[in-house]
Each structure stands twice: as C-alpha cells, then as structure tokens.
Amino acid sequence: NAGVMQNPRHLVRRRGQEARLRCSPMKGHSHVYWYRQLPEEGLKFMVYLQKENIIDESGMPKERFSAEFPKEGPSILRIQQVVRGDSAAYFCASSTGQGARGNTIYFGEGSWLTVV
C-alpha cells in the first residue's frame, strides 16, 4: 500500500514563475491536507480539502496560493509569481476520515521549493 506520494521532491523556480506541487493521497483516503515548513520550524497548516471541495483554507496566504483536489487525479498546490519567501518544504497529508478525530494523518515526503 503506497503512502502519500508527492512530486516533485525538489523544485527550483525563479522569482515570478509558477510552482505546481502534486499530491496523491494514500489509497482509500479522501481527506487531504497541505502544510508548509520553513527551515528550523514546525509544520504550519495551510488547507484542508476533500474531493472537489475546499473545507478550510484559513492557513493559505490570500494571494498567489491556491489548492484543488479534483474528482480525478491528485491534489494540486499552486503558487503563482513565487517570491524568495515561498522557499520552504510543502507537505501533503491524508486520512480516511476527518482527521485527527481518531484518524491517523499520514504525511508524504514533501516537496522542497527553492526560489532563486
């Protein structure tokens, strides 16, 4: 049973470009979460999605960031017009039910974005 799959693992973008990060949840999981980790810090919640629905995006910056989880295919975190401050590790996680109410949340290996 494959875990949470994220790609790319490492991404380098120039300032002003777009970054697109993909996440395939674990098999059978319909709840997806995105977190961001700055160097030497813990993870910060960004957004919670179920299929075709954004449930909570309170941790997402208001501009340039968007997320989707379509009926078919992976969840996508999109960052437009990247700036140096967007450099971070972006982690996707998934769970069967609405985590963490007794549901273990499993994390992917992360996508490391570097903006040059």
- Which tokens sit at 10? 């490492």
Instruction: Name the DSSP class of 86.
Output: G
- DSSP E strands in 14-105: the ranges are 19-24, 31-37, 43-50, 53-56, 65-68, 75-79, 88-95
Give the interface segment with another protein, choosing from 17-25, 55-63, 67-75, 77-85 (CB under 8 A).
55-63
Of 13, 25, 31, 94, the one binding another protein by CB under 8 A: 31
Binding to another protein by residue 51, rule CB under 8 A?
no
Query: Could you tell me if 18 and 82 are in contact, meaning their C-beta atoms sit under 8 angstroms apart?
Result: yes
| Binding-site string for another protein from residue 68 to residue 107, where x marks contact by CB under 8 A and - marks none | -----------------------x-x----xxxxx-xxxx
Binding to another protein by residue 44, rule CB under 8 A?
yes
